[in-house]
């Protein structure tokens, strides 16, 4: 085991993480500029064939073909979506990276024409020509409260990139971790202990106006969660990418009453970025959800 870890560390030290992060942030900014200039269709053109596309009011969609109608209905002119990346993490092999940033959305259907400040996660993979393509994205464009750091150019204390890559089957390993995480979250103790146990020390839980960081703060975010309610979720096994100690998973989730209890069920979907730790565990570093329709 130790020889594998040291070999992985050696490999990680050979990769130019700074250059890869710079490249992926540039790709994200260039895409934002293209969308501002040409409209929402430019975003669809950047999607990988089977990209996971998540945004409010829809189930998890796939690629340009599966998301075009719904995406253009929400973000096409005269509506507008702009964004600014502030943080990136990358894999040890330089083949996968994920960006986090802040978005601004104006919905033409909103009679007040209000600007909604939100956030997003986008993961990128390289095509055969060495160009970055969108492998998955979660756009949380209309949170109840705007992020406090929405006008910043950086994410203070943002998680670090992958430093090790141990074993094979990165995506399956991350999905397996996600499944065990979900099972723990459904136990009587509530979601707090599960979210703490599976968060990296520098993980961020996104979605509110403040982003809890690390196991202690993330666990505290669930203080007071009703004992008669439960969050259930499961990763989709045919979506996501993992390589070089980095992965992302997506899935549908429901916050609802425990068996035998009554109350509303709130369907959601989630996008989670995972990083492999030096001891081989997979822990999440970013997690972000948005609402979806009832089944």
pTM of this prediction? 0.93
Q: What's the sign of the alpha-carbon dihedral 153, 157, 162, 163?
A: positive
CATH 3.40.47.10 fits 170-291, yes or no: no
Give 88's contacts (C-beta < 8 A, 6+ positions apart): 21, 24, 25, 28, 97, 98, 99, 100, 161
Q: What percent of the chain has pLDDT over 70?
A: 95
Question: Considering only 33-47, 101-115, 136-150, which range has the smallest mean pLDDT?
Answer: 101-115
Cα separation, 272 vs 241, whole angstroms: 11
Q: Quick one: pLDDT at residue 151?
A: 85
Average pLDDT over residues 155-166: 96
Task: Report the length, in residues, of the chain.
Answer: 295
Residue 280's closest CA among 185, 170, 161?
170
Has residue 137 got a pLDDT over 50? yes
Question: Are the C-beta atoms of residues 253 and 262 closer than 8 Å to each other?
Answer: no
What band does 128 get if pLDDT is binned at 50, 70 and 90?
confident
Within the chain, all domains assigned CATH 3.10.450.50 are found at 2-140, 170-291
Q: Quick one: pLDDT at residue 5?
A: 47
Query: Other CB atoms closer than 10 Å to residue 291's CB: what's the count?
Result: 14
Residue carrying structure tokens 């669809």: 44
Assign a CATH topology to domain 2-140. Answer: Nuclear Transport Factor 2; Chain: A, (3.10.450)
* 17-32 residue pLDDT tens: 999 999 999 999 999 9
Helix H or strand E segment including 19: helix 17-38
Give 175's contacts (C-beta < 8 A, 6+ positions apart): 235, 237, 240, 249
What band does 3 get if pLDDT is binned at 50, 70 and 90?
very low
The SS3 assignment for 195 reads helix
């Amino acid at each position: 085991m130790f020889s594998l870890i040291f070999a992985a560390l050696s490999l990680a030290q050979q990769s130019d993480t700074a250059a890869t992060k710079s490249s992926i942030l540039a790709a994200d900014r260039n895409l934002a500029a293209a969308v501002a200039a040409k409209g929402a269709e430019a975003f669809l053109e950047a999607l990988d064939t089977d990209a996971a596309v998540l945004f409010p009011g829809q189930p998890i969609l796939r690629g340009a073909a599966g998301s075009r109608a719904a995406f253009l209905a929400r973000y096409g002119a005269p509506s507008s979506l702009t964004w600014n990346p502030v943080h990136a993490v990358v894999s040890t092999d330089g083949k996968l990276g994920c960006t986090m940033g802040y978005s601004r959305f104006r919905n033409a259907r909103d009679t007040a024409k209000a600007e909604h400040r939100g956030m997003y996660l986008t993961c990128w993979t390289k095509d055969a020509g060495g160009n970055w393509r969108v492998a998955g994205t979660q756009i949380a464009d209309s949170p109840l409260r705007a992020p406090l750091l929405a006008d910043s150019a950086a994410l203070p204390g943002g998680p670090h990139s992958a430093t090790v890559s141990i074993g094979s089957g990165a995506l399956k390993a991350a999905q397996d971790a996600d499944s065990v995480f979900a099972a723990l979250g459904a136990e009587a103790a509530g979601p707090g202990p599960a979210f703490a146990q599976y968060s990296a020390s520098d993980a961020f839980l996104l979605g509110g106006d403040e982003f809890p960081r690390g196991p202690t703060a993330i666990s505290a975010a669930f203080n007071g969660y009703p004992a008669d309610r439960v969050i259930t979720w499961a990763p989709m096994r045919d979506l996501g990418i993992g390589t070089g100690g980095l992965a992302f998973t997506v899935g549908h989730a429901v916050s609802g009453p425990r068996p035998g209890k009554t109350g509303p069920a709130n369907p959601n979907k989630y996008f989670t970025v995972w990083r492999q730790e030096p001891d081989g565990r997979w822990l999440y570093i970013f997690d972000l959800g948005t609402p979806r329709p009832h089944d």
